């Protein structure tokens, strides 16, 4: 049984065939890594799955409901939440406010209710702050709660982005290069956090270049090259797959 079932996903941008007839499955409560050389179409796959781009054809069924055709916020409502390769934090807001914004769909307060601070709204806000604190603690960023996101160093920003996504209580979390720009220790912490997140029952699909991290955390790997799937399987098999080694030739030295 798979939580996410991608079938025949296809997307062209003008002359570029970014994603070609891509099919794969993500099983519940596992970490799946989507890897491939630069420009292989990994981020495009994320955009297609989350409503930021429309595929030319193909389907993506999540818990028996079709994701393709939904708008981005509707995808979030289904329980599929993503992060970006380039940080998209709300820079003018504090870390806590970023995490609270991540809970947007789970809170109810309307303009009117908020304007008059209805008791219901106040209670909701109080509970939300408790939960935000919990999410921040889980990722070890609670002491930065009241700093502005725009003032944070790069490594922390990546973690806040994961926290914000997690605050939406996703069933499936899509992380686009969460370790990009992190140093060795930060990457270690991230690996621990990803495993902890999986153990709380969340399923993860990650795009990542750091092969150490990929091999450490993923249960399964799907490899794409020029938009096409060239291999799929558990980490140990992928590492020895001749097609993968060939695709990575030239990059293989410094990455694996």
What are the residues binding other proteins (CB under 8 A)? 50-52, 71-73, 76-77, 81-84, 88-93, 97, 100-102, 104-105, 107-111, 114-117, 121, 125, 151, 153-154, 164-165, 167-168
Q: Give, as one character, the DSSP assignment of residue 29.
A: T
Q: 154-166 and 184-199 helices cross at what angle (nearest 10)?
A: 10
Gap between the Cα atoms of 76 and 165, Å rounded: 10
CA 209 to chain centre: 14
Answer whether 232's CB lies under 8 Å from 222's CB: yes
Distance in Å, CB of 8 to other proteins, minimum: 25
Nearer to other proteins, 25 or 97 (CB): 97
Nearer to other proteins, 21 or 53 (CB): 53
Nearer to other proteins, 90 or 180 (CB): 90
Strand 31-35 with 203-207, pairing: parallel
Nearer to other proteins, 125 or 188 (CB): 125
- Tokens 């329980």 correspond to 79
Gap between the Cα atoms of 3 and 197, Å rounded: 16
Distance in Å, CB of 49 to other proteins, minimum: 12
Distance in Å, CB of 242 to other proteins, minimum: 37
Nearer to other proteins, 161 or 208 (CB): 161
Distance in Å, CB of 98 to other proteins, minimum: 8
Distance in Å, CB of 247 to other proteins, minimum: 29
Rg value, the chain, Cα: 19
Nearer to other proteins, 2 or 87 (CB): 87
Q: Give, as one character, the DSSP assignment of residue 103.
A: T
Strand 80-82 with 65-66, pairing: unpaired
- Give the end-to-end CA distance of the chain in Å, rounded to a whole number: 31
Distance in Å, CB of 117 to other proteins, minimum: 5
Distance in Å, CB of 206 to other proteins, minimum: 15
Nearest to 49 by CA among 14, 22, 15: 22
CA angle, 31 as apex, 153 and 169 as ends, to 5°? Answer: 65
Nearer to other proteins, 38 or 110 (CB): 110
| Sign of the four-CA dihedral 202, 175, 50, 27 | negative
Gap between the Cα atoms of 237 and 241, Å rounded: 6
């Amino acid at each position: 049984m798979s939580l996410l079932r991608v079938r025949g996903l296809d997307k062209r941008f003008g002359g570029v065939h970014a994603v070609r007839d891509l099919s794969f499955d993500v099983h519940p409560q596992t970490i799946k890594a989507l890897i491939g050389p630069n420009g292989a179409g990994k981020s495009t796959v994320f955009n297609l799955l989350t409503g930021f781009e429309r595929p030319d054809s193909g389907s993506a069924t999540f818990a028996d409901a079709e994701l393709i055709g939904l708008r981005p916020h509707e995808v979030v409502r289904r329980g599929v939440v993503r992060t970006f390769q380039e940080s998209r934090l709300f820079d003018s807001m504090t870390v806590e406010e970023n995490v609270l914004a991540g809970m947007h769909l789970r809170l109810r307060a309307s303009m009117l209710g908020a304007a008059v601070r209805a008791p219901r709204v106040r209670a909701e806000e109080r509970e939300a702050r408790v939960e935000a604190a919990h999410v921040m603690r889980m990722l070890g960023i609670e002491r930065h709660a009241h700093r502005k996101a725009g003032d944070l160093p790069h490594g922390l920003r990546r973690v806040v982005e994961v926290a914000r996504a997690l605050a939406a209580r996703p069933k499936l979390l899509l992380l686009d290069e969460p370790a990009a720009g992190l140093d060795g220790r930060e990457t270690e912490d991230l690996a621990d956090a990803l495993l902890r997140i999986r153990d709380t029952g969340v399923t993860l699909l990650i795009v990542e270049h750091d092969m150490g991290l990929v091999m450490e955390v993923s249960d399964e790997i799907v490899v794409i090259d020029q938009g096409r799937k060239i291999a799929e399987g558990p980490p140990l098999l992928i590492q020895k797959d001749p097609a993968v080694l060939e695709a990575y030739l030239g990059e293989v030295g410094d990455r694996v």
